[in-house]
């Protein structure tokens, strides 16, 4: 039973980090992870997954997990700053709540610290 649709980045470093984060937050078995480049910019690539999982599984939440140093942002000609990620996460959250009707949309930014360890923090946009 997937109650959360998690949209992460296709960056090869991320899926393992995101799954460890979700499992450590008690979400094991509760989510479906869908990956697309730069989630806040391209979450609509997962349109079919979002609508079908919501309809079939009753998922009511979406978690969008962006990350810094994202190739998808560079490819789109977007500034890779935290502020710009927050701006696009806010816009995506608005659409997911408005047009898609999800009750809960949570937004996160993953980044690496000086020791190259990943941290994922929730941003309230």
- Residues in contact with Zn ion by CB under 5 A are 9, 11, 70, 72
**Cβ-based nearer residue to Zn ion, 65 or 96:** 65
Q: How far is the CB of 25 from Zn ion (least distance, A)?
A: 21
CB atoms within 10 A of CB 37: 16
85 vs 93 by CB, closer to Zn ion: 85
In 3-state terms, what secondary structure has residue 47? helix
CB of 39 to Zn ion, least distance (A): 8
Q: Which residues pair with 110 in a beta bridge?
A: 67, 120
Closest separation in Å from C-beta 1 to Zn ion? 28
Nearer to Zn ion, 54 or 110 (CB): 110
Distance CA 17, CA 125 (A): 22
How far is residue 7's CA from residue 37's CA, in Å, rounded to a whole number? 10
């Amino acid at each position: 039973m997937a109650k959360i649709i998690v949209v992460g980045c296709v960056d090869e470093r991320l899926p393992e980090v995101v799954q460890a984060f979700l499992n450590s937050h008690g979400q094991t078995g509760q989510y479906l992870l869908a990956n697309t480049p730069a989630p806040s910019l391209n979450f609509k690539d997962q349109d079919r997954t979002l609508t079908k999982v919501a309809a079939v599984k009753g998922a009511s939440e979406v978690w969008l997990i962006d990350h810094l140093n994202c190739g998808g942002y560079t490819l789109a000609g977007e500034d890779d700053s935290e502020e710009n990620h927050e701006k696009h996460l806010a816009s995506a959250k608005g659409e997911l709540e408005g047009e898609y009707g999800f009750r809960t949309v949570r937004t996160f930014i993953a980044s690496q610290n000086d020791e190259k360890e990943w941290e994922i923090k929730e941003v309230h946009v």
